[in-house]
Amino acid sequence: MQDSDTIAAIATALTNSGISIIRISGENALSIMDKIYRSKNGLKKISEQSSHTIHYGYIYDGDQLIDEVMVLLMHSPNSYTKEDVVEIDCHGGSLVTKRILEAILSRGVRLAEPGEFTKRAFLNGRIDLSQAESVMDLISAKNDFALQSSLRQLKGSVKEIIGKMRERLLYEIAFIESALDDPEHISLEGYEEKLLLIVREERIKIKKLLSDSENGILLKDGIQTVIVGRPNAGKSSLLNLLIGEDRAIVTEVPGTTRDILKEEINLEGITLHLVDTAGIRDSEDQIEQIGVEKAKKYLLNADLILYLIDGSKDLERSDNEMIELIQGKKTIVLLNKYDLGSALEKEELQDRIKQPVIDFSVKEKVGIEELVQTIKNLFFQGKISIKDEWVITNARHVSALQEAKKSLDLVEESIVSGLPEDFYSIDLMNAYEELGRIIGESVGEDLVNEIFSKFCMGK
């Protein structure tokens, strides 16, 4: 799967800025630079310079000067891709950056595909697939947890634990196969008890990774949060309060919010993808009815529901309908307009809804701290920790772990049922290969291409 052609791409955003970076990788990277780069005194030949050095000079296209630049050299194999790599730091104008790239491409270099530099790092053995995926997670990190988790995975935390598990399983697979091939010299007597202990130990590790992964993914990707309630309960005001600006229109007229409003916020390290919905009520207005139906659909797929109730008024029929809809969903009830006095008993409401109820006032900004702590209690056992190096935050990894656990379950069933030893070997190998999918040891070219196609250009 190793490509041999030389590739190039702009590695920074194509906009006016202080500098831009053009990256070249491949066996012809240095010889191409000899054709377009001139040192200040005109004597330096880039291909003859030492690795990991920086050079000041100019980029020419033929006799035409394009820009004054700094050039960074990294010789194979001590580079990101393990190939010869050149990075050109030029002035940040989009025109000059494009002109330099055009000068490079016109000399037999191919434009890199999205993520192709990182793909080459993976294919050339510099990083495993989990590390490669962490690069994109690092770029798109929305909070400190996602940032720190991505950095740890980039350093090889997932590779380390998965690698140790695979080594242990492979040893047992090899032992079983050797014993079956040479029963005179290798005995399997009493081996079932030993293997059962090993299988259970490895399964416990997988279950721990899976149990932590749900919260890890939520912390990394954010919590899909829907704000619901009847008209004029204060939903749009709550959205504006949380994002810190007047994003939603707020009036005294019921049904002002007809469509769905979406925003992303960060609350003390928790990313919330907020959706402000139309007030749920019976209405003759056809447009408002569509908004209500949309609100109900978003509610069904939400990770968290913020149910706003106007605490200064009695419950209505639409509230009773909402209470039915939120059953079984993680919900925080905000008893809004707390400052106006309450027509509802908080304890009675909490007993009925079976969800946390918070005295709240959007107008007076009362209850925000309790809201944040309640979210932490619901999803993260009361606190957010970024110290655990083994949190799985990738849905593809979760799927592979689940399949590996199923295979280990089958091994235990075979042992308990007294089946022949070759049954153990088959399911152990399946678990071994599923774990290998996480780090890229057991994946096909199509999956590799799909993963790297999601990367940005020049990475």
- pLDDT at residue 445, rounded to an integer: 83
Burial class (CB in 10 A: 0-12, 13-18, 19+), 76: middle
- The pLDDT tens digits for 53-108 are 999 999 999 999 999 999 999 999 999 999 999 999 999 889 999 999 999 999 99
Residue showing tokens 């040891």: 441
Q: Round to whole Å and give the CA distance between 392 and 87.
A: 33
**Under 8 Å between Cβ of 393 and 149:** yes
The per-residue b/e assignment along 78-99, b for 16 or more CB within 10 angstroms, e otherwise, is: ebbbbbbbbbbbbbbeeebbeb
Q: Round to whole Å and give the CA distance between 459 and 457.
A: 6
3-state helix/strand/coil string of 222-281: CEEEEEEECCCCCHHHHHHHHHCCCCCCCCCCCCCCCCCEEEEEEECCEEEEEEECCCCC
Q: Round to whole Å and give the CA distance between 25 and 311.
A: 63
- The pLDDT tens digits for 123-144 are 999 999 999 988 888 888 888 8
Q: At 89, is the secondary structure helix, strand, or coil?
A: strand
Say which residues have a Cβ less than 8 Å from residue 185's Cβ, sequence separation at least 6: none
- pLDDT at residue 86, rounded to an integer: 97
Q: Round to whole Å and give the CA distance between 199 and 195.
A: 6
Q: Round to whole Å and give the CA distance between 219 and 154.
A: 18
Q: Round to whole Å and give the CA distance between 59 and 224.
A: 48
- What are the per-10-residue average pLDDT scores of the chain (459 residues)? 79 88 96 93 84 95 95 96 96 93 95 93 92 88 82 88 94 91 85 93 94 82 86 80 60 46 84 77 54 71 87 75 82 80 72 85 85 87 60 90 96 92 91 94 83 82
